[in-house]
Amino acid sequence: MKTIRDPIHGQIRLEETILKIIDTPQFQRLRRIKQLGFANLVYPGANHTRFEHSLGVMHIASKLTDNLEIVVAALLHDIGHPPFSHSSERIVKKYLRYEHEDVKRIIDGELKDVLKEYGFSLNKISKHIRFNPIISGEIDTDRMDYLVRDSYYTGVAYGVFDVERLIDKTYFDGKRLIIESGGLKAAESLLISRYMMYPTVYYHHVCRIARKMYEKALEFLINEGFDAKNLLHMDDFDVVSLMRNSNCAKEMIELIDSRKLFKRAIYVGRDRVDLKEITRINEERIEEEIAGEVGIEAKYVIVDVQPIEEVKEFNALVDVDGELVKLEEVSPLIKALKLAEMENWRLGVYTKREYVEKVGKIASKLLNLDKIPKQKTLDEIS
Amino acid sequence: MKTIRDPIHGQIRLEETILKIIDTPQFQRLRRIKQLGFANLVYPGANHTRFEHSLGVMHIASKLTDNLEIVVAALLHDIGHPPFSHSSERIVKKYLRYEHEDVKRIIDGELKDVLKEYGFSLNKISKHIRFNPIISGEIDTDRMDYLVRDSYYTGVAYGVFDVERLIDKTYFDGKRLIIESGGLKAAESLLISRYMMYPTVYYHHVCRIARKMYEKALEFLINEGFDAKNLLHMDDFDVVSLMRNSNCAKEMIELIDSRKLFKRAIYVGRDRVDLKEITRINEERIEEEIAGEVGIEAKYVIVDVQPIEEVKEFNALVDVDGELVKLEEVSPLIKALKLAEMENWRLGVYTKREYVEKVGKIASKLLNLDKIPKQKTLDEIS
Amino acid sequence: MKTIRDPIHGQIRLEETILKIIDTPQFQRLRRIKQLGFANLVYPGANHTRFEHSLGVMHIASKLTDNLEIVVAALLHDIGHPPFSHSSERIVKKYLRYEHEDVKRIIDGELKDVLKEYGFSLNKISKHIRFNPIISGEIDTDRMDYLVRDSYYTGVAYGVFDVERLIDKTYFDGKRLIIESGGLKAAESLLISRYMMYPTVYYHHVCRIARKMYEKALEFLINEGFDAKNLLHMDDFDVVSLMRNSNCAKEMIELIDSRKLFKRAIYVGRDRVDLKEITRINEERIEEEIAGEVGIEAKYVIVDVQPIEEVKEFNALVDVDGELVKLEEVSPLIKALKLAEMENWRLGVYTKREYVEKVGKIASKLLNLDKIPKQKTLDEIS
Amino acid sequence: MKTIRDPIHGQIRLEETILKIIDTPQFQRLRRIKQLGFANLVYPGANHTRFEHSLGVMHIASKLTDNLEIVVAALLHDIGHPPFSHSSERIVKKYLRYEHEDVKRIIDGELKDVLKEYGFSLNKISKHIRFNPIISGEIDTDRMDYLVRDSYYTGVAYGVFDVERLIDKTYFDGKRLIIESGGLKAAESLLISRYMMYPTVYYHHVCRIARKMYEKALEFLINEGFDAKNLLHMDDFDVVSLMRNSNCAKEMIELIDSRKLFKRAIYVGRDRVDLKEITRINEERIEEEIAGEVGIEAKYVIVDVQPIEEVKEFNALVDVDGELVKLEEVSPLIKALKLAEMENWRLGVYTKREYVEKVGKIASKLLNLDKIPKQKTLDEIS
C-alpha cells in the first residue's frame, strides 16, 4: 500500500482503488487549483491546493466509515471545482447554473472509466457528495480538514482545533454523524475556528477585493465570447494564461499579479444598511451608476455584497446520555456564536486608489448609507 | 548573557539581575511547586512548575516594557505560591488571611538581599505584582503565559492562541496595556482559550476532587497542630512528606497517590440551585450533616461549591482608530462568552465510591436540589 | 509598520523600504514561482514560492545585521530565479550563461527605480548576494530558511533544526558569519537536515524525473525558436501556458500534468560507475544513441547525471574560546557527513514505462555498467 | 473505552486490562518518578514522569503487535525504576545487584493480583521486558517514545524524528522488529536524535553533576544505616524527604534544591586519557586522595567517569528487497555516527566553586592528564 506524506495528517495510506482514481488526469487537475484562490496575496503561505485537501477529506472519512463508496465520494467531493476554487463560483453559477458539487456533469474520461471499472455508480457518488453527512453535513470531514489545513498554510493559529479528538469522539450511525458528549469541547472548538477564520482569512477584505477583480475579469472574457463551460475543465494556469492573452482581462490580471489592488471606498457592517434591501440590489447596475456619476469606466468600480453564509454546524447532533440534542442546545457558546457570526458581514465598494474618495461619496449616497464612512486608508497586509 | 531553553518561548535570555534573582534558594523553591496542583491525575503531562511559568511571564513582560522593576516584578509574581499552587490557596486564606500576591510577607533570605543589593524596593515590586496592568490586568502577561503553557503540557490544543501576535499588537502606555485593533482577533482567541480551559482542565471534576481531598488533608494537619504559616516556605515535597508521616492525613494522601479518588455523588449546574443561597452555605457544616445522616465519618464527604470567577478580561481596552473601547463592546463574541462562562459553574458533593448513592440522596435533600440528579457513574479520565 | 504572517517565522515586520521593494511587479513575480519546482508531485504540500522564502531570508538577515543594504540584498537574493526555480537552471546556464545570482542583468522597471530612489547601488546589492556570508556563505540565511520551510511544506520532519537557537548563537563580525560554541549542536543539526532533505526531497527520483522532463520540454521550445532570454522575466504560469500551446512541448507537459511520468530504467550509485568518466559524458548524445539502438524517438529517453554538490557548510567557522576553527574540525559528525553525502549521488536513465526494460539493457551496456541493475519497478509516491 | 490525553501521541486508548493495571498503586507510583532525574535543573520543562512514558511505550507497542502480553510488558517495562530514574541506578546496582528491568523482584501487591486475575505470567512479562525486540531491541518502542518525549519537554528540537513514519514502516515478524526500506531515513533520524540528545540533555554536565551529588547523598544515607532495598518502592518525594531529614545527606540535597551545584574542576574528552585505564579506576578512592591532598572533606569531590554506552541501534535490521541487512551496512551516516558517538565521552571532576582551582590541579596530576585543562569557568545554563 502506498502512502503520501501530508503535513496535516502525517502518513495518508492509499489503497489500490483510491490510487487508481488519484492517478487520472481529471483528479491530477486538482493539483493546479489553489484551495484559497487569491488568499496568498495576504497570507503568502496559502498556496495549497484542492488536491491535498481532497486527500485529507478522504483520509478522515476512512476513519469514520468502512464504506468504500463513501470514501471515494469524499475523495471526489471537490472534483468539480473550477479554477481558483470559490473565486470562479459566482460566474459558473450565473452562466452555467452549475455548482461544484454537481460532479456528474463533470466526471469524464479516464476518471469515469476507472469508476466504472471498479463498479462505482456515478449517481450514488454524486448523492453522497451532496447529502452524506460524513461529507456534507453539519460537522463534516470537509470542514474538519479545511479549517486545520487553511490554518496551517496561512500561519493563522486560530484554526487549530482538535481534529484527532473530534474524529475519535464522532460516530456515523449509518445515517447521521453524531458527536459523543466527550467530543463536545472539540466540536465547540471547530465552530470557534470557523468563526475566527472567516473574517481573518476567507473574508479578509484584500482577499475579497482580489476575488472580485478576478470575477470581473472572467465576465469580460465571457462578454468577448469565451464559453463559460470551458471553465469546468480548466486549471489556474489555463485561466491566467487566457486573461494575459486577452484584450479585455489583461489589465485586471496584471493588477492582481502586481498586487496593485483596488482599495476600499466603502466598507461597512450591517448596522449601516438595510440588510434585506441590500441583498436584493443588482450589483452591476449600481457599479455602472456609481461609475457614471464619478465619470470613470464601470470596470473600475466593484460593489461587493457579501453573501450571508448559512451556518449549519449549529444543528450538529450531540449524544448526551443516549439522547440526541442539537449542538446549540447543549452549548451556550455556540448559541452565542450564531449571533456573533452576523457581525462579520460587510458591504464593500472597491475602486482604484485614485478614485477612492469620489467613489466613496457617490456610493454612500446611492446605497443610502446615512453618513460617509470613516475610511481606513491603511490597507493592512495582515 | 545566559539563555534558558523553554518549550513555549524558545530561548529566554537572562540578564545579570534576573539571573541573580533566579539563583536564590527562594526562587529555586518554585521548581518544586506544580503549576496545576493535581491536574496531572487527569493530564499526565501536566507536571510543569511555577518556576518555568515565572520565567515565561518575565520574558513576555520584557517584550512589553524596558522598565526593569516591572520585569523583576513579573518574575516574582508567583514567589508567594504555597505548595501545589492554588490547591493550598483556600487554606492559607482561611488560616493566615494570606493571598499569594502578598509577596512582601514572604520574601526573605538571599532573595531579599539580592533585591536590596540591586536597589529594588519591596514595596514597589509588591505594588506592581498587585496592580501593574502588565502583570495583573484584564489581559496580562500572567494569563498570556499560563494559557499556552498549560495547554502545551496537558496536550489540550484549545489554549493555543496566538501569543506572539498578541504581544506584538499590545502596547503599554505607562499606565495601561492596550490592544491595537490588529490584535483584536488574538485577544478574542485568548478569551476563548480561557473559556475552554476552565471546564476541561482547571475545573475538570477529577482535578477538583483531588484538590478538595488535599485541602481536607491540610485541614487535618492544622487541626493536629501544624502551623499553617510554615506552608509559605514549603514545597510540594515537604507537604506530601508531612502528610505521609502524619496519622490524620496519611489515608487521604495515600488515596490521592494511588488515584483511589472520591467519586461524584452530586454534580449539578446553576439551573439546579439557588446560586445566592448556595454560595453562602457553610460547607463543613453540611459535610458533617450529610455524614451524620448517612452514618459515616465526616472526612469522607466533601461539599464543593465552586467559586464564581470574576472575568476581568472583558474590560480590556482596545485602540480603535485612536479611541479606547472595552473589548466586550467591540466583540460580540466576547459579550457572548461572558454569559456562557456562567454555564461552567458546578456544585459537587464527593465521597468514597461505596457511599455515592446514599450520600447523593441525603445531600440532594439537604441542599434542596429538587430531584435526585442523574448520576454519571463513569468517571472519565479525560 | 506592516507585518506579514509567515507560517515559519510568525510575524515578519516590513519597514518602509522593504515594503516598497516588495510592492513592485518584479518582486511580486516571485509569488508565482514554486520554490521546489515539481516536488509537489511527490509531496503535495510543496506549493510554496520564492516570494515567502525571500521574506524569510530577509527576516533572518535583519536579525544578524542592522546594515539595510545587506537586508535588501537578502530580500532580493532570488529575484533572478526563472520559472520553477532550479528546474530551469540548466537551460538558462546553457543558453544564456546565466545564473540566478546574476541579479544585475535582471533587475529593471519599477524595482530598479525604487532601489535608485532609496539610494541603493545595484553593484553592491549584487556583490552581497554573491559573496556576503550572511546571504551566501557556509551557513547562511538562505539555507537557514529553506531547510525549515521546505520541511514544513513537504511535511518531512527531518528539516526541523533549531533555527532560532542557531540565529541566536551566530554573529556577523562584519566579514564573516561565526558560530558561537553554544550554537555548535544547532549547526550540526542544520547539516544533518541538509543531508536528510537531499535524497528524500530535493533529489527524490520522482522529482528528478519530472524536472528532467520539463528541461527537455524547454529545449524543444528553444529548438523551435523560443528565445531563452524571455525565461528570465516569466513565471510558472507563462511557461506552462507556452508549453501547452506548442506542438513540440505539449506532450511532455501533459505527461507531467497528468503525472504519467517516465520510469527508471537505470538508477545506480557511484559504486557502479567511473565517476570521473561519467560526469564528462554528453547526455544528449547518449540519449540519442540509446534511443537509436532501442528504436524509439530520442525524446523518450532521459540520461540524468546528477551534479556533485559542493558542501561548503563544512568550512563554517566556530568560535571556540576565542579561536576560530572549521566546523568539520570540531565536529566528528560533520566529518562523517561529508563522506556520507557522496553516497546519495545517482545516475539515472528514465523512459516511458513500456520501454523501461529495453532502455535499461541498452543503457547499461552503453554506460559500461557492469551488470544489469536490479530495477525497482515500484515507483513509490513517497 | 477510556482515553488519556498525551501531548506526544494525542489520544491514548486504554482497554480494560490496561486500565486495571494503571489503576494500581504500584503503577501510580510512576507518576512521582521524574523521567530525567535532575535534568529540570538545566531544562526547566523536563518534569515529565515514567508514568506518561510508560503509557507512550504501551501505545506504540499496541500499534506493532496485537499480542496483549507484549503490550502489557511494554506498559510495565519501567515499573522497576527507583526514584529519579537513572539517578539511583548506580546505587541499586552496587548495593542490591538490581537493574530496573528486574521486574519480577519488584511487582507485588495489587498489581501482582491484577496480573494474576487476568492470567498473565510474571515470568513471561519479565522475559518480554528484557528480550522482546519490541520493548528492548536495537530500535524499540522505549527509544521511540523517550527521544520524542524528552525532546518535547526539554524544548530541544533535535529529538523530533519521525515516529509516526517509523512505526508505519516497521514490522514485527514474531521474533524481530524489522525496518522496511521506506523507513530507513526515519530510522537514521532516530539515531541522529540519539546522538544529539546525549551531549545536550542526558549527559549535559550540569545534569551529570546534580546526579552525582544525589548519588553521593544516597551513599551517605546507606552508610548511616538506610537499607537500599527500600529504594525499590519509594518515589521522588520519599527520597527527598528522607535526605532533608537526615544529618548526612541534608547539605547535599539543599545544594541541589537551591541549585548551588558543584563546578567542573576537570572536564576532558578521551583524547586526554587512557580510556582503558581510566574506566578501571576506583572513583571513591581517587576522590579521597584528591580531597586529602587538597585538604578538604572527601564529600566535596566527585570523580565522574562516564560509562561507555553500547549503541545497539546500529545492528537494527533493514528489509532491502527481501534481504535483511544491518542498519550500519546500508547507511553510511550510521557508520559515521558510531565513531562520532565516542567523541561525546567525558571524564569530569566536580567540586565546590571555591575549591575548583586546587582540585583541578591535584586531580590532573593524580589522573595523569598531561596538562592542566583549560577550565571553562562559565557554567552555561543551557
Rounded mean pLDDT of chain C? 90
Judge if D63 and D169 occupy the same domain: no
ipTM: 0.91
Q: Hey, are the CB atoms on C185 and D192 less than 8 Å from each other?
A: no
**Residue segments in chain A with a per-residue pLDDT below the cut of 50:** 372-382
**Taking every pair of C-alpha atoms in chain D, what is the biggest distance, in angstroms?**
66
For the entire predicted model, the pTM comes to: 0.90
Q: Which residue of A has its CA nearest to C258?
A: A25
What residues of A are in contact with residue D3 (Cβ under 8 Å)? Answer: 168, 182
What pLDDT, on the 0 to 100 scale, is given for residue A377? 32
Domain membership flag for residue C230: no
Q: Is the pLDDT of residue C378 over 90?
A: no
Domain membership flag for residue B361: yes
Separation of alpha carbons B182 and B170, rounded Å? 9
Judge if D62 and D163 occupy the same domain: no
List B179's β-bridge partners, or say none. Answer: B170, B318
What pLDDT, on the 0 to 100 scale, is given for residue B378? 31
Q: Hey, are the CB atoms on C47 and A47 less than 8 Å from each other?
A: yes
Separation of alpha carbons D31 and D237, rounded Å? 11
Separation of alpha carbons D245 and A242, rounded Å? 84
- Dihedral sign from CA coordinates of B341, B307, B377, D19: positive
Quick one: average pLDDT of D141-169? 87
Separation of alpha carbons D183 and D163, rounded Å? 10
Cell 501521541 -> residue: D9
Strands (E), B54-211: 170-172, 177-180
Judge if B198 and B318 occupy the same domain: yes
Domain membership flag for residue A227: no
Nearest residue to C152 (alpha-carbon basis) of A155, B149, D173: A155
Q: Which residue of D has its CA nearest to B236?
A: D237
Residues of chain A that touch chain D, judged by Cβ-Cβ distance less than 8 Å: 3, 5, 10-11, 164-165, 168, 182
Judge if B267 and B382 occupy the same domain: yes
Separation of alpha carbons A338 and A312, rounded Å? 10
Judge if B294 and B166 occupy the same domain: no
User: Which strand (E) or helix (H) includes residue D348?
Assistant: strand D347-351
**Total domain count, chain A:** 3
Domain membership flag for residue D139: yes
Which among A7, A49, A257 has the least Cβ separation from residue C28? Answer: A257
Q: Which residue of D has its CA nearest to B1?
A: D380
Judge if A121 and A35 occupy the same domain: yes
pLDDT (tens digit per residue) in C79-94: 999 999 999 999 999 9
Domain membership flag for residue A52: yes
Q: Is the pLDDT of residue D380 over 60?
A: no
pLDDT (tens digit per residue) in D156-182: 876 667 788 899 899 999 888 999 988
Q: Is the pLDDT of residue C1 over 80?
A: no
What pLDDT, on the 0 to 100 scale, is given for residue C170? 92
- Reported as a pLDDT band with limits 50, 70 and 90, residue B371 is low
% pLDDT > 90, chain C: 68
Reading the block at residue D355, the C-alpha cell is: 575549591
- Reported as a pLDDT band with limits 50, 70 and 90, residue C369 is confident
Which among A5, A11, A168 has the least Cβ separation from residue D3? Answer: A168
Q: Hey, are the CB atoms on D241 and B236 less than 8 Å from each other?
A: no
What pLDDT, on the 0 to 100 scale, is given for residue B49? 98
Separation of alpha carbons B165 and D72, rounded Å? 45
pLDDT (tens digit per residue) in D13-24: 999 999 999 999
Domain stops at, among D132, D155, D178: D155
First to last CA, chain C: 42
What pLDDT, on the 0 to 100 scale, is given for residue D182? 86
Judge if C91 and C182 occupy the same domain: no
Domain stops at, among A85, A120, A155: A155
Q: Hey, are the CB atoms on C164 and B3 less than 8 Å from each other?
A: no
Domain membership flag for residue C243: no
The domain spanning residue C26 has which CATH number? Answer: 1.10.3210.10
Domain membership flag for residue D131: yes
Judge if C119 and C190 occupy the same domain: no
The number of beta carbons lying within 10 Å of the beta carbon of residue A285 is 11
- Reported as a pLDDT band with limits 50, 70 and 90, residue B104 is confident
Nearest residue to D115 (alpha-carbon basis) of D125, D128, D127, D102: D125
Q: How far is D69 from chain B, CA to nearest CA, in Å?
A: 24
Domain stops at, among A120, A155, A190: A155
Judge if A339 and A351 occupy the same domain: no
Judge if C193 and C57 occupy the same domain: no
Pairing type for strands B317-320 and B177-180 reads parallel
- DSSP per-residue letters across A301-326: EEEEE------GGGG-EEEETTEEEE
Domain membership flag for residue C237: no
Judge if B352 and B374 occupy the same domain: yes
pLDDT (tens digit per residue) in D180-230: 988 888 888 888 888 888 888 999 999 999 999 999 999 999 999 999 999
Mutate to test the interface with D, among A11, A160, A185 (most CBs of D within 10 A): A11
Residue B199 is classified by DSSP as I
User: Which range marks the domain in which residue D69 is found?
Assistant: 1-155
Judge if D122 and D167 occupy the same domain: no
